[in-house]
Amino acid sequence: MAATATARKLLIGGEWVETGEWLEVRSPYSGDVVGRVAKAGAAEAKAAVDAAEKAMTEPLPAHKRAEILVKVVAGIARRHDEIARQIAAEAGKPLKAAKVETSRAMSTYTFAAVEARKLAGEVVPMDAAQAGEGKLAFTLREPIGVVGAISPFNFPLNLVAHKIAASLAAGCAVVLKPASQTPLSALTLAELEHEAGLPPGWLNVVCGPASEIGDILVADERVRAITFTGSADVGWGLRERAAKKKVLLELGNATPVIVHGDADLDEATSKLAANSFSFAGQSCISVQRIYVQKQVYDEFVKRFVPSVEELVVGDPADEDTDVGPVIDDDARERILSWIDEARDGGAEILTGGSLEGDLIEPTVIANAAAEMKVCREEVFGPVVVVNSYESLDEAIALANGTRYGLQAGIFTADIRAALEAAQGLEFGGVTVNEAPTFRADQMPYGGVKDSGNTREGPAYSVRELTEERVVVIDL
Ligand code: NAP
C-alpha cells in the first residue's frame, strides 16, 4: 500500500496539523507500511493542552455533547467495514475480531451519550442531622477539567472510544496520546468527532514519543486527570509522578479460570479455546491459566487440545483467521522465551510451542509450576497453561496467586461453588459459565491489586471524570 495513501495529520485546536516529521505505521503481519502519522513532540502536546483548556472556557451543554456522541455512532456504522480493516492492518487483529471491536465502539459511544444526558447530582437529606435543619443541599457534578488520555495498541478503536466518549460525556476536553503502533483508528475517531460538529479543542490527538508527550501530560497542572490503559509498570509509574492528579489505571492481568468437576465440559472447552487465543492472546483478559479439577482434568485436556488445534492461524485480513501475529518481533521473542522457560523447567507442551511461519502457534502447556513466568506474569500471547487442582479452596488460592486482579472465571453447575468463587477471587470481575474474557461495554470494568484502580464503562468513567460540588442553601 502506498504510504502516502493514509498519511494522517494530528488534530489540535480543531485544526489538522503537520509537523514535518512522520511516524510510520507497519502491519505486524507483513511489515508493510499501512499509514503515516504526523509526529508530535512536547510543543504539540503543550499546544493541545492549551487548546483543551481554552475549549473548556465555553462549556458544551449536555444535549449537544450527547448529540455529537450519537452522530459518531452513525459515523462508525457508515464506515464499519473500512474501520475494521484498518484495525486489522495496523494491529494485526483478525478481521472477525476487528469487526466485533468496531461494533463495540458503537456501543461505547451509545452508552456515553446516555450518560451525558443523565449526568446529575443528588439532593442531600439535610434535616437528617440537627445541624442541617432549615437548610436545603444538593450536589452538582462538575467536569474534572482537561483529561490526558493514553491508550494501548490492542484495542486501538474501542479503548480510545472508552476514553474520549466518556470524557466528552462528562464535559471534559481531552488530549489523547494513542499507542504509537496503532494511531490510525484513533485519528479516524477524531475525524468522526470533527465531522459530528465537536467544537475546536474538545478533542486533540497527539501521536509521538511516549515519554515526551507523557511528561507534558504529567507535568502540566491544567491536566486534571490522566486516564491510562496499558501495562502495569508504565501505569503505576505515571501515578507516582502525578501525585496531584487523578490517575485512572486500567492495566494487565494473568487471567485465570477454574473448571470445576461438575462443569459442562463442552461449554467450557469451546469457550476457553476461543478466548485463550483471540487476537493471539493480546487482550488484557485473554484466558492464560486454566485450573481443572483433578477428576475431569484428562477429559478436559482430551477435548480442549483438539479445539485449539482447529483454530486457523494466518493473515489477519482473511475472514477465516482466528489467530494472527503478535504486535512485534520483541513480543514474539519474549513469548517464545517464556515457553522455553516452561519447557526447560519440566512443563509439558501439549500443542504448539513453536512458530508456524512467523506466527506463534496456539500453545497449551500442562503442569507448569506456579513460579514460571507463564503462570506468574502476563504472557500477552497465544499461550495457555492447564493445571489440575483438588479442592475449590486450592483453585481459588492458585487463581489469586499473582500480582494481578482484573477478571477471573469459573465453570460449574453448582451455585454454591459459583458464589464461593465470586467471593473468594480477588478480581474486579468474576464470570460464571462464561470465559473471563467477556466484557460488555456498559459493565464496570477494571482491576484490583496491580491491575488498576478504577472502573471503565461510560457510567463509571463519567463518575470518575466529574467532581461533586455541594450547594447549601439556608431557607
Ligand atoms: P504500554 O506499553 O504500557 O503502552 C500503553 C500506552 O502507554 C501507549 O500509548 C504507550 O505509548 C504509552 N506509554 C508508554 N510509556 C509511557 C510513558 N513513560 N509515559 C506515558 N505514556 C507511555 O502497553 P501496550 O503494550 O500498548 O498494551 C498492552 C498492555 O495493556 C497489557 O499489559 C494489557 O493487559 C494492558 N491492557 C489493559 C486493559 C484494561 O482495560 N485493563 C485493556 C487493554 C490492554 P507508545 O505506544 O508510544 O510507547
pLDDT tens column, 161-180: 999 999 999 999 999 999 99
Q: Cα–Cα distance between 340 and 354 in angstroms, integer? A: 9
Are residues 72 and 102 in contact, defined by beta-carbon separation less than 8 angstroms?
no
Q: Is 172 a catalytic residue?
A: no
Q: Is 250 a catalytic residue?
A: yes
Residue 226: strand pairing partners: 148, 247
Q: Cα–Cα distance between 393 and 404 in angstroms, integer? A: 18
Q: What is the CA radius of gyration of the chain?
A: 23
Ligand 1 centroid to 151 CA: how many Å? 6
Q: Which three cell numbers stand for residue 23?
A: 511516524
Q: Tell which atom from ligand 1 comes closest to the C-alpha of 153.
A: 26
The active-site residue, picked from 90, 115, 250, 456, is 250
Q: Cα–Cα distance between 375 and 28 in angstroms, integer? A: 26
Task: Work out the angle at residue 167's Cα, subtended by the Cα atoms of residues 163 and 171, and round it to the nearest 5 degrees.
Answer: 170
Q: Tell which atom from ligand 1 comes closest to the C-alpha of 447.
A: 41
Going across the sheet that includes 33-38, the strands are: 7-8, 33-38, 22-26
Q: What ranges make up the beta strands (E) of 86-165? A: 123-124, 135-143, 146-150
The pLDDT of residue 4 is 42
The pLDDT of residue 3 is 37
Ligand 1 centroid to 337 CA: how many Å? 21
Neighbours of 42 (CB within 10 A): 15
Regions of the chain short of the pLDDT cut 70: 1-5
Mutation choice for ligand 1 from 39, 229, 285, CB with most ligand atoms inside 8 A: 229
Q: Tell which atom from ligand 1 comes closest to the C-alpha of 177.
A: 9
Q: Which three cell numbers stand for residue 79?
A: 464506515
> For ligand 1, which residues put their CB under 6 angstroms from it?
150-155, 159, 177, 179-181, 210-211, 214, 229-231, 234, 238, 250-253, 284, 378, 380, 406, 452
Ligand 1 centroid to 228 CA: how many Å? 8
The pLDDT of residue 6 is 73
Q: Cα–Cα distance between 251 and 450 in angstroms, integer? A: 7
Helix (H, G, I), strand (E, B) or coil at 314: coil
Taking alpha carbons only, the member of 450, 406, 411, 444 closest to residue 425 is 406
The pLDDT of residue 130 is 98
The pLDDT of residue 298 is 98
The pLDDT of residue 331 is 98
The pLDDT of residue 452 is 98
Ligand 1 centroid to 462 CA: how many Å? 22
